[in-house]
Structures are given as structure tokens and as C-alpha cells.
């Protein structure tokens, strides 16, 4: 018998929050109260809901302000001596004069180029299409765009017996995700891995700028696990790419949008405008990945070598360009960390409300405009129309507003 969906979602909620006392500690109320509909606010009573929202936000912000003061006092002086610290660890202030020189001498004369990618999945019963696009941009006006499409059919080779063929197809489709779920044409991790590799390879092979700016990490999880870690050939391709940045080029800076390191973002939140902190190397992160990745044989040896070769050469830092903007992490080579921080801050100050590098935003905008869902879906729908099935294989969401 199918499990009751409401019961399943409740069970998932409890599991996601750990034990019930942990739920209460995190949310300030027991789960039994949350599930008691008499405690819910009537939809029309938005004023009462807003009052609670305003109270919670005000208290949370005040609490974070207290933490910021304490971090500046106790944590900042220890950044150079904490476990895993970089030899140039500490907090630094970038002057506006330095950022202006970087604007004129590096950013606006083509000395930096950035790369970003996007992928779109269109999933139907007979065919799943994954489109991966990558764009390279710079302020000198030069740009490039590359795209690749993957077509997944559950059964490509016909079998001699039509009954066996149908049974094989039924079995394979039984094991797949629900139709229309993003990433089902290729696993989510594998798709992101291919896009992540393409971004870094295009930045290496197609850019001619002195400085290369990327989105994410120079040692991304997606390139060292899953599809890539299944054999020495796959992992070696990723490792060779990482080695080029660390050993050959060195002048790179990567900025992630949503890192999982909330504890470091808390340190970054204590920064003042135009301050940046060099916190640690990536060796401990690579060490954890090597120890928990389940690598075997030649792949395990290659990962161990990577940890020793690049772990101490890449530093992780934080920066902030405006009081009202959030802090962001960045990765750079240990020998060029200070200039990398100033380059990324000079680019981010161009849009103070976000405090995020404008060149990465530009690459993302070009990529989504060129290769986003709005460009793929009309072509797919036209192809199905040409095949005589304009609606039968479209998902419910695609036909909802027609």
C-alpha cells in the first residue's frame, strides 16, 4: 500500500530536524504545536503575521550584531594561527585608491575575463534533453559562447523480441524519477559536474586575459566525485585542470554564490566595508573529501597526491564592499591572494547593493539569455509538433498556462 503523503512529508520534516528537542530548540516551539492547525493564522489576518515576522527579524539582527562585535575582538586576531591557517592569514583593508587603480589598469582594459554556465533539462516520456551552455565575458567587449546537448532515451538499441524490448523499457522507466523532475535526464551531480568542468576548461583554453575569474571553487566537489571518480581517466582529467590553475597560471579568483560554510560567512559578516580576510587553505577540505569519498586504487592515489600538491596553495578568504551588502567567500592562489581579493572587490563595488562580482553576473546573464529554458523549450515544442505530437508528451506544467 502506498504511504500516506501527508504522513511521509511530516516524517521527512522530523528527520530533517533531528530529534524533537532539536526541532524545538531551532524553531522555538514544539513540533506538536506546529502541526496543531488551531495555532495557524487565518490567511486574512496578515497584520498579526507581519508583527511576528518583524519581531523575529529584529531580534535575529540584533543578536548577529552582538556576534559581529565579539568576532572582531576575539576571532580576527587569531586568523593567522588557527588550524589550517594560511601564512598570510588575517584581516586587511583595501583602499579606494587601490581599487580605482585596478579598475583602470586591470578590469576595464581586458585584464580579467570571467566564465559561467547554465544547464536546462527538458524531460518527457520518450526523450530527455539536457542542454549545457557556457559563456566567457570581459569588459573589453570580447565574449564567447559554447553549448552541448545530451539526449537520453531509455532504450536505444532495439531487441529481437518486441515483448522483451517492452519489458526492458518498463523496468528502466520504473527506476527513474518522476517525469519533469529537473536532472532526471542525467543525474544532478553529473550534469553539474560536466558544466563545472566546461566552465573551468573554457576559462583555461579560450581566455587570453591575465586574470581568470570563475564561479564556485577551483577545486569543486562536482569534479572529484560521482561520474568523475569512477575511473582514473575521469579523475585525472579533473586533476590536470586543477593543477593548471594552481601550478601554471596562478592568477585566478573564484567566488561561490551559496557556500555551505556558514561559520565562515559569520566571520565575513563581521567585516567592515572594503575589508577582506584570508582565513585558511583548502587542504582540510580536500583531506576530508579524500578520506570520505570512497576512492580506491589508482583513483585514491591520485586524490592523495592532489591533497599534497594543491592543498596549501589555494586560500579561502572573505570580503565585504558595503555595510548593507552580504559578505562573500573567494578562493585564490596563496601567492596572489591580496591582489585577487582587491580585483574581486573592485568588480563587486560596481554594484554595491549586491556586493557580488559584476563580471560573473554579466556572464550569467549572457548565458541564460543565450542558453536558458526560454531558448530551448520553443525549439523542443516545435520539434514535437513536427513529429505530429504537439501536446501528448509535454508535462503538465508546460501546458498549464496555454
Instruction: Kindly report the pTM of this predicted structure.
Output: 0.83
**What pLDDT is stored for residue 401 in this prediction?**
62
**What pLDDT is stored for residue 1 in this prediction?**
42
CA–CA separation, 124 and 377 (whole Å): 12
Q: What is the pLDDT of residues 22-47, one digit of tens each?
A: 888 878 888 888 888 888 877 666 77
| Dihedral sign from CA coordinates of 183, 133, 354, 212 | positive
Dmax over CA atoms of the chain, in Å, equals: 75
Return the DSSP state at 239. Answer: H
CA–CA separation, 88 and 338 (whole Å): 9
**CA nearest to 76, candidates 341, 279, 263, 273:** 279
**What pLDDT is stored for residue 381 in this prediction?**
84
**What pLDDT is stored for residue 101 in this prediction?**
96
Domains of the chain: 5-60 (no CATH), 83-371 (3.30.2170)
Main-chain phi, psi angles of 145, to 5 degrees = -140, 140
Q: Report CA Rg, the chain.
A: 25
Per-position DSSP letters for 309-365, written without gaps between them: HHTTTEEEEEEESSTTSPPEEEEEEGGGHHHHHHHHHHHHGGGTTTTS-HHHHHHHH
Q: What is the pLDDT of residues 381-390, one digit of tens each?
A: 888 888 887 7
**What pLDDT is stored for residue 158 in this prediction?**
61
Name residues of the chain where pLDDT drops below 50: 1-11, 13-14, 18, 180, 182-185
Q: Where are the alpha helices (DSSP H) in 275-316?
A: 283-292, 297-310
Which residues neighbour 163 within 8 Å (Cβ) at sequence distance 6 or greater? none
Which residues neighbour 302 within 8 Å (Cβ) at sequence distance 6 or greater? 232, 235, 236, 239
Share of the chain above pLDDT 90, in %: 52
- The helix/strand/coil state of 41 is coil
**What pLDDT is stored for residue 185 in this prediction?**
43
Amino acid at each position: 500500500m502506498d504511504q500516506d503523503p501527508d504522513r511521509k512529508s511530516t516524517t521527512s520534516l522530523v528527520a530533517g530536524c533531528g530529534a524533537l528537542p532539536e526541532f524545538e530548540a531551532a524553531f522555538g516551539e514544539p513540533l506538536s504545536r506546529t502541526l496543531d492547525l488551531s495555532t495557524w493564522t487565518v490567511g486574512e489576518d496578515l497584520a498579526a503575521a507581519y508583527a511576528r515576522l518583524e519581531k523575529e527579524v529584529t531580534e535575529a539582527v540584533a543578536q548577529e550584531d552582538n556576534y559581529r562585535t565579539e568576532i572582531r575582538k576575539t576571532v580576527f586576531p587569531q586568523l593567522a594561527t588557527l588550524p589550517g591557517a594560511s601564512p598570510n592569514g588575517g584581516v586587511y583593508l583595501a583602499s579606494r585608491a587601490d581599487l580605482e587603480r585596478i579598475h583602470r589598469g586591470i578590469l576595464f582594459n581586458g585584464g580579467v575575463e570571467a566564465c559561467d554556465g547554465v544547464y536546462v533539462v527538458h524531460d518527457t516520456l520518450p526523450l530527455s534533453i539536457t542542454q549545457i551552455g557556457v559563456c566567457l565575458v570581459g569588459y573589453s567587449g570580447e565574449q564567447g559562447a559554447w553549448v552541448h546537448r545530451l539526449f537520453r532515451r531509455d532504450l536505444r538499441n532495439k531487441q529481437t523480441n518486441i515483448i522483451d524490448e517492452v519489458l526492458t523499457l518498463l523496468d528502466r522507466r520504473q527506476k527513474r524519477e518522476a517525469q519533469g523532475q529537473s536532472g532526471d535526464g542525467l543525474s544532478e551531480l553529473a550534469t553539474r559536474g560536466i558544466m563545472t568542468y566546461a566552465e573551468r576548461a573554457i576559462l583555461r583554453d579560450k581566455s587570453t586575459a591575465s586574470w581568470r575569474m570563475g564561479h564556485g571553487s577551483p577545486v569543486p566537489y562536482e569534479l572529484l566525485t560521482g561520474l568523475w571518480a569512477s575511473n582514473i581517466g575521469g579523475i585525472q582529467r579533473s586533476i590536470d585542470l586543477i593543477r593548471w590553475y594552481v601550478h601554471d597560471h596562478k592568477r585566478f579568483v573564484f567566488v561561490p554564490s551559496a557556500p555551505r560554510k556558514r561559520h565562515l560567512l559569520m566571520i565575513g559578516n563581521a567585516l567592515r566595508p572594503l575589508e577582506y580576510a584570508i582565513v585558511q587553505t583548502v587542504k582540510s577540505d580536500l583531506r576530508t573529501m579524500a578520506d570520505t569519498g570512497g576512492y580506491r586504487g589508482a583513483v585514491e592515489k591520485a586524490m592523495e597526491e592532489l591533497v599534497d600538491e594543491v592543498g596549501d596553495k589555494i586560500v579561502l578568504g572573505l570580503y565585504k564592499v558595503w555595510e548593507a551588502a552580504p559578505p562573500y567567500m573567494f578562493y585564490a592562489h596563496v601567492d596572489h591572494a591580496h591582489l585577487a581579493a582587491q580585483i574581486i572587490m573592485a568588480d563587486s563595488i560596481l554594484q554595491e547593493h549586491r556586493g557580488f562580482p559584476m563580471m560573473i553576473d554579466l556572464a550569467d546573464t549572457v548565458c541564460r539569455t543565450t542558453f536558458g529554458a526560454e531558448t530551448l523549450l520553443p525549439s523542443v515544442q516545435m520539434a514535437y509538433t513536427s513529429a505530429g505530437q504537439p501536446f501528448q508528451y509535454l508535462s503538465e506544467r508546460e501546458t498549464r498556462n496555454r
